[in-house]
């Protein structure tokens, strides 16, 4: 059984990474890496924990309405938020790892003030100037990374909801571009759209 995520533990993890030389601590995470359609989105957040943000968790553990409310709070209460977006065409030209790292780098470079240390979910550091610590499972260990995961997820979900208006048959409002059975069946019937990642192996389950 996966252990429960406790807000106080997320806060303590970040506190252990602060110090006299780390005034601004940033968390970084991405959304959409495994999707079949749409961009990969990364967010970087410099945000102090507060009572208003006590429900911050890994975005995958939170319902969509709660994520949306927390997104607005994080955007309002953070010292700085940066977002990086890499579109499907570039994902296909390079690969998803390079695209993800590029999105993360753009997100960190969008922060002002510049962070003194960057905590990144996963085990691949983006090429940024501040010292970087990669944290496996970071969205369930670090408050800053969890906050970034919410910003990245909500930003991407909104992009996919807009895509659904252009391509209503694919169910992007529900599946957000991931390979659900309905999505794969629609691809088999209608083919790929311009926002699908053609470098990904996409097969119907039927």
Q: What is the pTM of this model?
A: 0.95
Phi, psi of 83 (to 5 degrees): -130, 135
pLDDT at residue 206 in the model: 44
pLDDT at residue 62 in the model: 96
Domains of the chain and any CATH numbers:
7-162 (3.30.420.10)
Q: Which residue has 């406790």 as its token pair? A: 6
pLDDT at residue 204 in the model: 52
The alpha carbon dihedral of 93, 94, 96, 102 has a sign of: negative
* Per-residue pLDDT reduced to its tens digit, 130-164: 999 999 999 999 999 999 999 999 999 999 999 99
Peptide bond into 113 cis (omega under 30): yes
pLDDT at residue 2 in the model: 54
Q: Which residues of the chain have pLDDT under 50?
A: 205-206
Say if residues 102 and 9 touch (Cβ distance below 8 Å): no
Cα–Cα distance between 15 and 112 in angstroms, integer?
Answer: 21
């Amino acid at each position: 059984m996966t252990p429960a995520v406790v807000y106080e533990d997320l806060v303590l993890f970040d506190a252990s990474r602060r110090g006299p030389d780390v005034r601004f601590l940033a968390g970084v995470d991405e959304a959409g890496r495994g999707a079949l359609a749409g961009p990969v989105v990364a967010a970087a957040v410099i945000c102090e924990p507060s009572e208003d943000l006590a429900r911050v968790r890994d975005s995958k553990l939170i319902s969509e309405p709660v994520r949306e409310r927390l997104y607005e709070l994080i955007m309002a209460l953070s010292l700085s938020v940066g977002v990086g977006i890499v579109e499907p065409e570039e994902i296909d030209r390079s690969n998803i790892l390079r695209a993800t790292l590029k999105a993360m780098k753009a997100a960190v470079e969008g922060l002002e003030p510049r962070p003194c240390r960057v905590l990144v979910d996963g085990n691949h550091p983006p090429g940024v100037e501040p010292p970087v610590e990669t944290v496996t499972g970071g969205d369930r260990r670090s408050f800053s990374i969890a906050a970034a995961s919410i910003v990245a997820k909500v930003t991407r979900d909104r992009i996919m909801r807009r895509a659904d208006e252009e391509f209503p048959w694919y169910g992007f409002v529900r599946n957000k571009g991931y390979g659900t059975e309905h999505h794969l069946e629609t691809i088999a019937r209608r083919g790929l759209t311009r926002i699908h990642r053609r470098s990904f192996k996409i097969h119907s389950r039927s």
